A = this chain, B = another copy of it.
Amino acid sequence: MRTDEYNQAMNSILLARGILRRLRAIFDDLTLALARRCSRDGKLDGGLADAQQFAAYELALASADLLAAETALGDADDAPLDLRLALVFAVHAIRQSLARLDEVAFELAGVRDRGDAGEAGAARDVRHGRDGRDAGTAGDAAATRIALDALAACSEWAALRRDVLRAGSLAAVGRDVAETGGDVGHVALSDSLRMAQDAFRRFADDVVAPKAYEIHRHDLTVSEELLQPMREMGVFGLAIPEAFGGSAPGGADDALMMVVVTEALSEASLAAAGSLITRPEILARALLAGGTAEQKAAWLPKIAAGDPLCAIAITEPDYGSDVASLALRATRVEGGWRLDGAKTWCTFAGKAGLLMVVARTNPDRSAGYRGLSVFLVEKPSYEGHDFDFTQPAGGRLSGRAIRTIGYRGMHSFDLAFDDYFVPEDHVIGGAGGVGKGFYFTMAGMVGGRMQTAARALGVMRAALRAAIRYAGERKVFDAPLADFQLTQVKLAEMASRFAACRKLAYAVGRILGGGDGSGSDTSAASGDGRVEAAMVKLLACRSAEMVTREAQQIHGGMGYAEETAVSRYFVDARVLSIFEGAEETLALKVIARGLMERALERAAGAAASAPATGAQKAAPRTSAPLA
């Protein structure tokens, strides 16, 4: 980049930061207004929130875009190319967020004129006596609308768009991206993290990548040839402290190490390498959170050694993301429990020798999540897509892999438990753990989401690099594809998404590492990174769909052929927004709810600490930039 280009980029960055500050203030106002609309007596209300799902969904998507843009632009010491990529992402994020917040603002302003909402909505309003409160909200919303419109029309925003989105400018970014081979989105890493990144990238390239096609094509089970070296590299013990035989670096690097390793492995294969860490992490965190001293000592070293391999059985056929309603029954018998019922989407259940099973120990369904416990269920390890195991005393566990369009290598199973016996001491937490299964399960969820974001990063990086390689080699109309402006623009946009997601993921990983190292806090309003982990999962997974799709387009027909790796990246990417918290559930139940709870708490806090100035000062920051 020449000096004048650099100066212009710096100028644009100042503009973008200013616009983002304004947008953040508007976002915070809207979040509080939506929270008030969805609450009764200062607490969120499920029924009221359900009537605002669309606004909440748009708010959640905007929150992820905004936070990623703020974070990407936050680091002034960044490499020049990364700064320009941050600008490209920020302009798209601002534009998209303006549109989404527009919808939220209309929704909040529309109380007095809700002919379209149907009679049910109007009747509910009357029943809830909301008119008084809504009048205030609508007034605030009108003010927010004015701020939103002013921002959308201001000349600084126009200048920023012109400077960043001009084809010549985008194409120049794309050419520079191509020159790096896709090595963009740099983050500061400690020495040990950088060494791990180098080692796992090399391993992924040399050992995993050559086997990835066959595993996908023929839906094979991950082989010992891949598993054994990963055991030796400590992959299965990354969430387990050294005291328990694990390889967790300890301290601030704990959460980041898993992101680094997962990203590196996912670049070669999502299912044959990049997803192997998720299961032992979730189980290890449940044991660390709730296991007895004996259980930790007995199980953690084995899990860390990858012997047995493990799998997590939570989801049931009738209850996708609704953990509190789980129905698989655990009945007390002499010396332990018997399990009866079905689980589904239990990835790796065939090969695993140990399943973490969430079951209902309190037969009273109305106990909800308080009736759940976590069991450590042993079984033999099987290759292939089906198994059927009968215990000596007659208990039975059978599994059948669900064929999927991608994410192949570990297989995801339907499981049927039939009078399956589990000994007393295999309930996590022992007698004291009964009924606490929900909390132990949640302990691993934040990590699972961060890992899923990291998996998305790996897939995106692979797709971006493949697209760059192909565009350099493939000639059309007598010139390499990479020489065409449209290709360059596409590469710039793909790279900008990847880089922004990467910076956000590592920033959130750093926050999580700054806690107690377990990432296990389950409070929504604590600002500890739980909501942010969901944001980065949401954004990175959606971005992976977009980046792999564009990489396919660049490959033309070859992008649709199974032998071209990019077609696998595409079908693999599709699972990311579906599993580990479906996009919609995360957006509504974790992100929007978490942001609204924070907004209400801070508004209450602000009102309490400064009663004289009143509600005007009650709009708090919902999230801080993470850089």
Asked whether A166 lies within 8 Å of B107 as measured between CB atoms, the reply is yes
Q: Mark A94-116, 1 if CB is under 8 A from B, else 0.
A: 01000100110011011000111
Contact B574 A114 (CB under 8 A): no
* A232 interfacial contact with B, CB 8 Å: no
Given A560-B407, A578-B560, A102 contacting B161 (CB threshold 8 A): yes
Interface residues of A in 366-388 (CB under 8 A from B): none
Is A44 among interface residues, defined by CB-CB distance under 8 A? no
Residues of B within 8 A of A51 (CB): 485
Contacts known (A553-B577, A553-B584); A561 close to B402, Cβ less than 8 A: yes
Residue A574 contacts which of B115, B172, B560 (CB distance < 8 angstroms)?
A: B560
Interface-forming stretch among A191-199, A563-571, A602-610? A563-571
A476 near B322 with CB under 8 A, answer: yes
Contacts from A to B (Cβ < 8 Å): 4-5, 8, 50-55, 57, 95, 99, 102-103, 106-107, 109-110, 114-118, 121, 149, 152-153, 158, 161-163, 165-172, 217, 315, 318-322, 325, 344-345, 402-407, 475-478, 484-486, 489, 545, 549, 552-553, 556-557, 559-563, 567, 570-571, 574-575, 577-579, 582-584, 588
Our pick among B321, B403, B553 for the contact of A578 (Cβ within 8 Å) is: B553
A269 CB to nearest chain B CB (Å)? 16
Inter-chain contacts of A8 with B (CB < 8 A) = 115-116
Number of copies: 2
Q: In the complex, are the beta carbons of B561 and A403 less than 8 A apart?
A: yes
* Given A53-B484, A114-B168, A168-B118; A567-B405 close (CB under 8 Å): yes
With a cutoff of 8 Å between Cβ atoms, the chain B residues found around residue A57 in the complex are: 486, 489
CB <8 Å contact, A582 and B570: no
Q: How far is the CB of A311 from chain B (nearest CB, A)?
A: 15
In the bound complex, CA of A165 to CA of B55 (Å): 10
Complex contacts, A405 vs chain B, CB 8 Å: 405, 560, 562, 567, 570-571
A489 (CB) vs chain B CBs: closest residue: B54
Please give, as numbers and ranges, the residues of chain B lying within 8 Å of A53 by CB-CB distance.
167, 484-486, 489
Return the contact of A557 from the options B5, B344, B552 (Cβ within 8 A).
B344
Q: Are B116 and A169 within 8 A (Cβ)?
A: yes
- Given contacts A161-B106, A344-B557, A567-B405, A584 and B5 within 8 Å (CB-CB): no
Q: How far is A579 from B559 in the complex, measured between Cα atoms in Å? A: 11
| 19 A/B residue pairs, CB under 8 Å, sorted by A | A5-B116, A50-B484, A54-B486, A54-B489, A102-B161, A103-B165, A109-B162, A110-B166, A110-B168, A121-B168, A149-B153, A320-B557, A321-B556, A325-B477, A403-B561, A404-B562, A405-B560, A545-B549, A553-B582
When distances are taken between beta carbons in the complex, the residues of chain B under 8 Å from A110 are 162, 166, 168
